């Protein structure tokens, strides 16, 4: 283990080991070899991090900053993220297996999220109310909601951190960020930028660890005022139960089984590209993966042919190599889950057009896979795969397509490919999903809200309203009369 990087927790402005001395190792998904170790937080560390957040909220170094000054710190953080995109991207690629080209470009773009919220920091306003009581001046102000527990997964951690940390810091909150115990290295390295940007100690702490020792104590902590969680529905149910202990305001950004609808009048080349991007982009390890492709029957075979032809050139390889199009999956458990689901799909009558197997080499490499589904009951159409598996199902009418698209417990992303503008509006309006992309897929922006319905969670991240979600409203009444307050027991 000589020369193996070791990452510490970042609590109250200092790096430290966990109170119980627990250390975990991280495997490089491209090689299967341990490449780094990291300290794990215990309940005592969670207590210290939350206590530091509470102190920071009352410390003049943070509390007394003007909103414009908070924005300047976020602008500085944005610059540092952009300057360190290559460094952070390489760490994330080594830790999670995501393509270097993706991690670097995504990290660089994340800087714009911090700039967006930096600009909003001094746009958080209250209001003077036209109250119906004479001689009363009544106004509201928005104040930081308090201590925030932000829980992020490994698959898009720089992006999902920015959608929480940006608005929280703009609002004046203090944040305890819990990185996934799977591939947490880039988040623990990110702590250096928080410090360099000039945020006072305790405003941001970054920890990681398992559920029992870290996530549960954090999300049920009595001094946590808000929880922002991204992950799976089963874990989210535990988070909701934990929040009953502290009544923390909670938002959930969960998984999805997003439909992409391709109508016969669509630009078929663009539609094929959209399906490939929605399923093989990020090796399918995306909460908005468009893994239910619904294709109108007259063009079903042609779409399959175009996807087959385009997929022949996909290079699965070393994620650090710029020539690679698909890297490994983050964990070996994902490959086993995919293998079992594909086997069940074949038993149900599905046909695997290409792929369907792990690649026989070191690391967690999976072939891009296309599943031809004869009926809606095929397992790959209902199971979140979190790998490069595309399932296609034919439909006949617009009404049938909409019904199939909405026949899921999830509701995060959706896509529609058509050249008919009226149909684009008509169908997108009926998608039961928080996001609908028309003739494109997986586009994001700090300006556009991101979130889902039903089992895909509630609340929105990014966009103008997100910063308001990290505030609470205080109402102040001022009696402007020069007369004393009336006797409350004399009614007039």
Active site residues: 253
Indicate the length of the chain as a whole number: 492
DSSP track, 420-434: -HHHHHHHHHH--SS
Nearest to 151 by CA among 243, 62, 73: 243
- Token pair for residue 23? 């250390």
**Interacting residues of 158 by C-beta distance below 8 A, sequence separation 6+:** 81, 88, 92, 103, 106, 107, 110, 186, 190
- Looking at residue 487, the DSSP 8-state letter turns out to be P
Q: Whole-angstrom Cα distance, residue 128 to residue 480?
A: 14
Integer Cα distance of 193 and 191 in angstroms: 5
**Distance, CA of 36 to CA of 6 (rounded, Å):** 6
CA pair distance 97, 363, nearest whole angstrom: 9
Q: Longest Cα pair distance anywhere in the chain, in angstroms?
A: 87
Distance CA(482)–CA(487), nearest Å, equals 15
The residue with tokens 């309006």 is 429
How far is the C-alpha of 369 from the C-alpha of 399, rounded, in Å?
28
C-alpha torsion 359→364→370→372, nearest 10: 100
Distance CA 390, CA 279 (A): 6
Separate counts of helices (H) and strands (E) for the chain: 15, 21
- Label the pairing between strands 136-144 and 471-479: antiparallel
243, containing H or E segment: helix 233-243
d(CA 437, CA 415): 5
Calculate the alpha carbon distances from 315 to 277, 325, 328, 365, 487 in Å. Answer: 14, 5, 11, 11, 82
List CB contacts of 84: < 8 A, sequence separation 6 or more: 107, 193
CB of 429 within 8 A of CB of 324? no
């Amino acid at each position: 283990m000589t020369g193996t990087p070791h990452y510490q927790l970042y609590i109250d402005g200092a790096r430290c080991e966990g109170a119980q001395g627990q250390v975990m190792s991280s495997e490089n998904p491209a090689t299967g070899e341990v490449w780094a170790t990291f300290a794990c937080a215990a309940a005592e560390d969670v207590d210290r991090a939350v206590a530091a957040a509470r102190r920071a909220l009352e410390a003049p170094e943070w509390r007394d900053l003007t909103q414009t000054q908070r924005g300047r710190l976020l602008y500085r953080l944005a610059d540092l993220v952009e300057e360190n995109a290559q460094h952070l991207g390489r760490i994330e690629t080594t830790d999670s297996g995501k393509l270097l080209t993706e991690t670097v470009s995504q990290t660089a773009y994340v800087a714009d999220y911090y700039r967006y919220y930096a600009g909003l920091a001094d746009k958080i306003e209250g209001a003077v109310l036209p109250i119906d009581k004479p001689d009363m001046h009544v106004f509201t102000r928005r104040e930081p909601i308090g201590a925030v527990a932000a829980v992020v997964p490994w698959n898009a951690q720089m992006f999902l951190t920015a959608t929480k940390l940006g608005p929280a810091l703009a609002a004046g909150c203090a944040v305890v960020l819990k990185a996934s115990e799977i591939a947490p290295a880039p988040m623990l390295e990110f702590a250096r930028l928080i410090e360099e940007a000039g945020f006072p100690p305790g405003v941001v702490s970054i920890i990681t660890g398992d559920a029992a020792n870290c996530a549960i104590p954090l999300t049920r902590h009595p001094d946590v005022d808000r929880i922002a969680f991204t992950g799976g529905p089963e874990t989210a149910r535990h988070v909701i139960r934990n929040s009953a202990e502290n009544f923390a305001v909670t938002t959930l950004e969960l998984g999805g089984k997003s439909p992409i609808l391709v109508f016969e009048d669509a630009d078929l080349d663009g539609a094929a590209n959209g399906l490939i991007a929605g399923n093989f982009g990020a090796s399918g390890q995306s909460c908005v993966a468009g893994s239910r492709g619904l294709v109108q029957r007259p063009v079903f075979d042609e779409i399959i042919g175009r996807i087959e032809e385009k997929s022949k050139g996909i290079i699965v390889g070393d994620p650090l190599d710029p020539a690679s199009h698909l890297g490994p999956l983050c964990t070996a458990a994902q490959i086993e889950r995919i293998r079992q689901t594909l086997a069940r799909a074949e038993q149900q009558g599905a046909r695997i057009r290409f792929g369907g197997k792990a690649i026989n080499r070191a690391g967690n490499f999976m072939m891009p896979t296309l599943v031809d589904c004869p009926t809606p009951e095929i397992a790959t159409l209902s199971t979140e795969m979190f790998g490069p598996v595309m399932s296609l199902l034919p439909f006949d009418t617009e009404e049938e397509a909409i019904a199939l698209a909405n026949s899921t417990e999830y509701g995060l992303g959706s896509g529609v490919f058509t050249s008919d503008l009226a149909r684009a509006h008509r169908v997108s309006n009926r998608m039961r999903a928080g996001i609908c992309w028309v003739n494109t897929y997986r586009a994001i922006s700090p300006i556009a809200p991101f979130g889902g319905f039903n089992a895909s969670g509630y609340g929105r991240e990014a966009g103008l309203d997100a910063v308001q979600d990290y505030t609470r409203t205080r109402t102040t009444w001022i009696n402007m009369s020069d007369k004393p307050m009336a006797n409350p027991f004399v009614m007039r």
